[in-house]
Amino acid sequence: MGRKPATYADLEALPEHVVGELIAGELHVSPRPAAPHTVAASRLGGELSGPFDRGRGGPGGWILLDEPELHMGEDVLVPDLAGWRRERMPRPPRTAAFTLAPDWVCEVLSPSTAALDRAVKLPVYAREGVRHVWLVDPEARTLEVFWLEGAHYSLRITHTGKACVRVEPFEALELELAFLWGEG
């Protein structure tokens, strides 16, 4: 006999010290991230929010959020960061979850989540039409940039080390990778 698919009630029953996601009827539970992951996600969000979300020193035009709960069909995903162009989502909904797919997501990889992020979540983002995906690995010190081409992602470039880079869709800002790794 097959297992009963996980439900949103299973997510709600999880303790607060874990992150839960529902993908293809399966409950995925990950520990809260370690310091390198948290530093990279927090610093990246901070760098992008001023020029793109608030429009300070940059073009504006985005809503950028930390760990939004995305309801995509039957799947519930929680990326580290997500962004919507304001012309598609002028303001966030007044609900706990988002049903409009983002234009950009960033997953910060941890040893415990890297396989889930790459093999399980990327196909859901592609199915939902998320045009830009970044995979940030603070341990390997890499920023992988994916663009949606048709129904699949294409790896456009991998930035490494301490470089200063401009990356779509936020190329108006030069990102200092060393800062993301906690070195700046």
Which residue in 23, 19, 18 sits closest to 7, CA to CA? 23
pLDDT at 96: 87
- Cα–Cα distance between 175 and 173 in angstroms, integer? 6
Structural domains of the chain, ranges and CATH numbers in brackets: 33-180 (3.90.1570.10)
Give the pTM.
0.94
Query: pLDDT digit string (tens) for 51-89?
Result: 999 888 889 999 999 999 999 999 999 999 999 999 999
